[in-house]
Amino acid sequence: MSDTHAEAAQLAFVRQEPIPPAPPPVAEAGIVKWLRDNLFSSVPNAILTLASLWAIWWLLSSSMPWVFNGVWDAGSLRECREILDGATGACWAVVRERWAQLVFGVTYPEEAYWRPATAFVLLFVALAPVLFPKAPRSLLPFTAVYPFLAYFLVWGGSVWVPVMAAAGFVVGYLVFQRLVAQSFAMGFFGAIAAALVFWWVAGFVTPTLTAIAPITLEAVESRNMGGFMLNLILGTVCVSLSLPIGIALALGRQSGMPVVKWICIVFIEFIRGVPLITLLFVANVVLAYFLPPNSTFDLILRVIIMITMFASAYIAEVVRGGLAALPKGQYEAASALGLDYPQAMRLIILPQALKISIPGIVNVAVGLFKDTTLVSVIAMFDLVGMIRGPILASTDWNGVYWELFGFAAALFFVVCYGISQYSQWLERQLQTDRR
Amino acid sequence: MQKSVFLAAVAGVGMTAGVASAATLDDVQARGTLNCGVNTGLVGFAAPNAEGEWEGFDVAVCKAVAAAVLGDPSAVEYVSLTGKTRFTALASGEIDMLSRNTTQTFTRDVDLKFEFTGINYYDGQGFMVPAELGVSSATELDGATICIQTGTTTELNLADYFRSNNMDYEPVPIETNAEAQQQYLAGACDVYTTDGSGLAATRAAFENPSEHVILPEVISKEPLGPVVRHGDNEWGDIVRWTLYALIAAEEYGVTSANVDELAEGTDSPEINRLLGTEGNFGEVMGLSSDWAVNAIKAGGNYGEIFARHIGEDTPVGLSRGLNAQWTEGGLMYAPPFR
Amino acid sequence: MTSVTEPPRESFRLSMLLNDKRYRFYTFQFVALLLLIVFMAYLGWNLVRNLAILGQDISFEFLGTPAGYDINQSLIPYENQDPHLRASFVGVLNTLLVAFLGCVTATIFGVLAGVLRLSKNWLVAKLMAVYVEIFRNVPVLIWILIIFFVMTAALPPPSAFRGDDPSSTMLFDAIALTNRGVYVPKPIWGAGSGALAAVFLASIAGAIYYRRYATRLLYATGRLLPMVWPTLAILILPTLAAYALLGGPVTLEYPELRGFNFQDGIQIRGSLIALWFALAIYTGAFIAENVRAGILSVSHGQTEAAAALGLRPRRVMSLVVLPQALRVVIPPVISQYLNLTKNSSLAIAVGYMDVTGTLGGITLNQTGRAIESVLLLMLFYLLISLSISAVMNLYNNAVKLKER
């Protein structure tokens, strides 16, 4: 002990505090380290990096002048070329001139453009409480009203048609409330019957009501819908319709009743086994044979029927996955509590199973939304149909491919990427819930 | 959730249409609009303009029928159809008449059970090639790549023509005229074949129409005309005689400009019967007596319609040729109004 | 005698059909069956009435009548006087061709992108993420059309190769890239090519035998024989020697511009390329996600355990991570193959003559037999997807057995 002290005393200098840490070598800090770690950690990696850089440069250098040197103001491709005078540049003028047609189609009345636009904006308000757990619950009633409001806005006509349709649901719900105490089946079928009777009666009352209180918007027929609006309508309508059907099919496929089970299995496997395009052919050229003679189902309605069938088969499989993922204990616990099948499903199983399947359902919805472009193959003027048909056929814009398809791709990318980001966000939310 | 939209739509359709009857005329009058099937886009014949209004030679026939039946040429719902969808749309009742450069053939008339109500354009299938190829006859096309619209009679004619001339070719099937145009212009096919009128219309849309030649050979007869469902003869008569009224009007010199004046009565009994000042032809068909006046006012007589949409002064630039009045050496020959 | 008292035997009441669990089971099924039958009968009755009104019937006789149209790409001999049935079959083969090519290419794209997305190289990983997101989120129909139009617009027509000073030339004097498609040399199997093929087959067998032998040796003695180079040598050298000995039995037929088109060689049509490439690139983006998820699903402990055993990184990948990842990856990838096959029906948008183009397209149009054609079309696709599902189930069962 003392020895050391003595030695210390003999020394001329003793450092009292530690040396401050030296800055790391240049190659091991900041951006250089990051570059070395992430881009140039080895020779193959460096080659890969350089190749990627070259690819990015090539892509940008060949596309950016074209994009930013674009002509926005011209009446035809010929004018565009004259303005550009040999320089590279896009002819965005086509998007500008045909903007309304690309979004709303050829025949939707121009003075009514605000209606689908409003419906589109309100869609987000209506969806908020369903999609975001933190959104105010007070919006839920609006969500319930929204489908009828959207129908009124987009299709127009007498306000009493959607009002009566909504009233039918209310009547059905009231009947269900009364009868469900006796048995679920009684309530369920009673509600359907009541709603149907109500609608049947309403069919006679509506014209009178319209005459008394003529609150109407200019009626627009389905066949006048087109452009991106048609894609959005088909997407939202078919997904919303296919949800209940898909859940019913999934339950049917899980059910212990062999007849019900096999009906569901055959339906689901059949629909999933054929491409959507053949179903659209059915809507287009075959379905009319199976409907009563002289019935006036127009093409868009037939397409909605077929796409809804298509989507419900896929949603059924997603929901079935959710049902299968629930631990068996949940089913057993529900039985132990003495709940019967409808109660167990409604109160215990479905809420949990649906929560698990939401990301899957969103994926199906994105896929379906992309698939709505297939209707252009059966000569409907959706966004792609508008481009391939009237716009490219016109003398003015014959030959403007990049700009139009680029625009279409960008629109779809924004919507689909947005939804898939939402789905990933939701997946993370759900995961933290369970841990 | 939006089940209601669907149900409401069904309910709405049910309410407006009521119980549809078998007679197309009653349906059209009850509905107040004529559902007319047209091409998805062929300049001059049927194409929506920048304002989204349909116009063209085939569209004018729809307008004339709507004017004759409903008194309003704008009361038409246009349903655009491809070669594939047109007949099903007609058979299923989605449209009341088809006016989409449709060739009258035995099979379509007899086997597919449709009724052709006259001919509004006598056409024939031809070939268009770039002038720089130096081809002057279709017989020099051995080994060529040929763009063709699928679902049309042209496909079969082409196969027949090359088989009977012992030549080879490679078909490039294309769904729409616009895409065929693009393929042809880019040189992905050497030849584009379709009806002569379609070739002229397509060429008119090119940047340099003079760089393309239409070969002299016409390899088929393509009488094009409006089509209705088999079995509803009253409706077929209306469409047929509306077309004849337009053709007869040209023959008698009735135009959209002077029709009002002539409708007050003339010295010519033929014109008087046509315009309803003599006889009751309109009532016999279940229409008003001034049906033909309305039809002619809608877009003019046959000659005016032709000149406005596809005539020599338009970009399409078709000459009358076979479609001139019979008095001028053509085939347009309306039966007498008697 | 059982001690459990039986529930009192009630006499049957009508309400028991709905309220008693035993009877309700049958009531519901009966009602479901009845509804199904009524629904089907309704559709059938409508069909009969509609057909009567239109004066049509249902008959498959049209399949035997001459088709009358030509098909540009056919894997079997076909001319326009052959019956519709043969035309449909040509279409079926074309569908299978594009589906096969698409699946192979999509797998390559998908695996590459999926693995590179997990790369430590930040730039490459981001680039792959961009690829996956862009292609996944835009409809495949738009991709097919874009690639088709771009090919038509960007590549030169055959006439550009003509003349003394052509604006385009063939690659290596052998491959011509035109907007009608790509022309590549075609092998001509001359005399002695049978022997050549036999030698090649024999060397494949030899390579397999060598690998088996090396594995056995490894297990028996622990001696590690080199694998890659000997295998390649066994595969290639004998065939090359045979080729030289036989005096070059296989020659190449080069495409040559004659008349309007390139003649000879193999033509890969623009429509096929557009469809093939678009489907591959689109499905590849989905497969990339499956591959990524599969690799991530193998827990890190596995990699560390393998490393602790002293395995080198390459072996960790091939012996530990991949086998486990594949079990997760393969089922979704097979369903991607199924999707690709179904999406190949979009061929109709670019005029590729697959079964939707022949049977569901031209045949349907020319004969007007909509119901029959669409029915046959659906049955064909159903058959394909059921067989793919069957394969998938077989695989799943095989994997399951190993697991437990």
- The interface predicted TM-score (ipTM) is 0.86
Whether residues B188 and C260 touch (CB distance < 8 A) is answered with: no
Å between C355 CA and nearest CA of chain B: 14
A370 → chain C, closest CA residue: C139
How close does chain A come to C136, measured CA to CA in Å?
9
Q: What is the pLDDT of residues A403-428, one digit of tens each?
A: 899 999 999 999 999 988 888 888 78
**Distance (Å) from the alpha carbon of A2 to chain C's nearest alpha carbon:** 49
Across the interface, whether the CB atoms of A297 and B13 are under 8 A apart is answered yes
Per-residue pLDDT band for B2 (boundaries 50, 70, 90) equals very low
Touching C: which chains, 3+ CB pairs < 8 A?
A, B
Radius of gyration for chain B, computed over Cα atoms and rounded to the nearest angstrom: 21
**10 Å Cβ neighbour count for C309?**
11
Q: What is the dihedral of CA A255, A259, A263, A264, to 10 degrees?
A: 0
Q: If you average pLDDT over residues C300-325, what whole number do you get?
A: 87
**Please, what's the b/e burial string for C209-235 (b: 16 or more CB within 10 A of its CB; e: otherwise)?**
ebeeebeeeeeeeeeeeeeeeebeebe
Whole-number Å distance between alpha carbons of A374 and A378: 8
Determine the residue among A205, A294, A312 to mutate to test chain B binding: the one whose Cβ has the most chain B Cβ atoms within 10 Å.
Answer: A294
Number of residues that this document lists for chain C: 404
Q: Which residues of A touch C342 (CB under 8 A)?
A: 274-276
Phi/psi for B169 (5° steps) reads -160, 165
C261·B145 Cβ contact <8 A: yes
Choose the mutation target among C24, C142, C366, C371 for the interface with A, i.e. most A CBs under 10 Å: C142
| CB C140, CB C278: distance < 8 Å | yes
Q: Which chains touch B (3 or more CB pairs under 8 A)?
A: A, C
Of the candidates C19, C34, C12, which has an alpha carbon nearest to the alpha carbon of residue A185? C19
C-alpha to C-alpha distance for B259 and A247, rounded to whole angstroms = 64
Residue of A182, A281, A382, A403 best to disrupt the C interface, most CBs of C under 10 A: A281
Which CATH code for domain A222-430? 1.10.3720.10
The verdict on a CB contact (< 8 Å) between C370 and B150 is no
Domain-by-domain residue ranges, chain C? 15-54, 84-181+269-399, 186-253
DSSP-derived secondary structure for B170-188: EEEEESSHHHHHHHHHTTS
Give per-residue pLDDT as tens, C149-167: 888 888 888 877 777 677 7
Assess if CATH 1.10.1040.10 describes domain C84-181+269-399.
no
pLDDT tens across the length of chain A (435 residues): 455 555 656 778 888 888 888 887 777 777 787 887 777 777 888 888 888 899 899 989 888 888 888 888 888 888 888 888 877 888 888 888 888 888 888 778 888 888 888 889 998 888 888 778 777 778 888 888 888 888 888 888 888 888 888 888 888 888 888 887 777 777 888 888 888 998 888 888 888 887 887 777 888 877 788 889 999 999 999 999 999 999 999 999 988 888 899 999 999 999 999 999 999 988 888 888 888 876 667 778 889 999 999 999 999 999 998 898 888 888 889 989 988 888 888 888 888 888 888 888 888 999 999 999 999 888 788 899 888 877 887 777 877 888 899 999 999 999 999 988 888 888 787 765 544
Domain spans of chain A?
22-69, 157-217, 222-430
Answer whether B40 sits within 8 Å of A390, measured CB to CB: yes
C-alpha A332: how far from chain center: 35
Test B93 with A202 for CB contact under 8 angstroms: no
**CA of A409 vs chain C CAs: smallest distance (Å):** 6
pLDDT value at position B20?
37
* φ, ψ for residue C346, nearest 5 deg: -75, 0
Contact between B64 and B309 under an 8 Å Cβ cutoff? The reply is no
Q: Do A278 and C374 touch (CB under 8 A)?
A: yes
> Distance, in angstroms, between A108 CA and closest chain C CA?
24
pLDDT at B306: 92
Give the minimum alpha-carbon distance from C397 to chain A in angstroms, rounded to a whole number: 18
C51-71 residue pLDDT tens: 887 777 888 888 888 888 888
pLDDT for C223 equals 78
Chain C residues in contact with A288 (beta carbon < 8 A)? 50
Model-level pTM? 0.84
- Domains contained in chain B, CATH given: 25-120+225-328 (3.40.190.10), 124-221 (3.40.190.10)
Per-residue pLDDT at B30 exceeds 50: yes
Q: How many residues make up chain A in this entry? A: 435
CB contact under 8 A, C351 and B175: yes
A387 within 8 A of A408, measured Cβ to Cβ = yes
